[in-house]
Structure 1
Amino acid sequence: MHVANLADRETFTTLDGSTIRELCGPSWTPARNQSLAEATVPVGGETIAHYHRTSEELYYFTAGRGRLRVGEETREVGPGDCAVIPPGIEHQLWCDGEEPLVLLCCCAPAYSHEDTVLTGATPPSAAR
């Protein structure tokens, strides 16, 4: 049995600029088909627009307030919201609240830098 505790995990920064603490993934656990991590976007921060070639992502928001853009659609997100992000669809996060935007991110197949394509595009519809 493999059990990890979030408090014991070291942070790293993904290509999109978010801070991650990976709870489970193939590089160091028995998981073979997915990964689970806690991601944080600081107050006033945003991720770099990007997409994943093969990974489907689930974002489950646990703290903070912000906006999520998936494709051409942007909406406000906060604790309790869960979003599905299909592979190949550009997405981006903004933290608009007074505390960091925190989410659990499940990727299948597991997250990898090689699967991430940075686009840097922010469509006018996502602007405040």
Structure 2
Amino acid sequence: MHTRYNEIPAYQTKDGSEIRELMHPTVHGNANQSLAEARVEPGEQTALHRHRLSEELYHVTAGSGIMTLGDDRLPIGAGDTIAITPGTPHNVHNTGHETLVILCCCSPAYAHEDTELL
């Protein structure tokens, strides 16, 4: 399996971020997880939400901001990785001056139906 970034269309997810599904079982044939790139522009934030089934790993590749993770608010920046357990409320707020870019790995794979807005 192989994808090319410039051939993958971006779309907006339920939480309000712009997403590119870099690898997803329903599209690419891999089995158990998805990998996407999320982009949040300066001053913007995603909606507080949780996933009933999916565990997520966020890896920040550019920008900076604040992540709400349950009751905690964490400063995040390029090079940081965050584990989000199923059921944990979370969102990100871009508090910097450049686009906040996050690689998101979900297992099981991301599904709109598994996203509950809070």
TM-score range with shorter-chain normalisation?
over 0.9
Query: Which residue identity is paired with 2:36?
Result: A
Distance 1:12 1:32 in 2: 22
Shift in Å, 1:7? 1.8
| Distance in 2, Cα, partners of 1:32 & 1:18 | 24
SS in 1 for 2:28: coil
**Separation in 2, partners of 1:6, 1:85:** 25
Q: Residue 61 in 1 paired to residue 40 in 2?
A: no
Asked if 1:82 corresponds to 2:96, the answer is no
Instruction: Summarize the alignment of residues 15-94 of structure 1 with structure 2, pairs less than 5 Å apart.
Output: 15-94=14-93
Q: Could you say which residue in structure 2 is the equivalent of 1:13? A: 12
TM-score under structure 2 length normalisation: 0.98
Query: Higher Cα Rg: structure 1 or 2?
Result: 1
CA deviations over 1:61-110 (Å, ceiling 9, x no partner): 00001011110001110110000000000001000000010010000000
Structure 2's unaligned 5+ residue stretches are: none
Q: Which amino acid aligns with 1:38?
A: E
Q: Post-superposition shift, 1:31? A: 1.1
TM-superposed deviation, 1:111: 0.3
Distance 2:21 2:29 in 1: 14
- Poorly superposed stretches of 4+, deviation over 4 Å: none
SS at match of 1:111: coil
Amino acid at match of 1:8: E
Cα deviations by residue, 1:19-67 (Å, 9 ceiling, x for unpaired): 0001101111121210000000111000000000000000000000101
Q: Equivalent residue of 1:48, what SS?
A: coil
Distance in 2 separating the partners of 1:91 and 1:81 = 16
Task: Give secondary structure in 2 for the equivalent of 1:102.
Answer: strand
For the aligned residue pairs, the C-alpha RMSD in angstroms reads 0.6
Q: How many residues align?
A: 118
Identical counterparts, % of pairs: 47
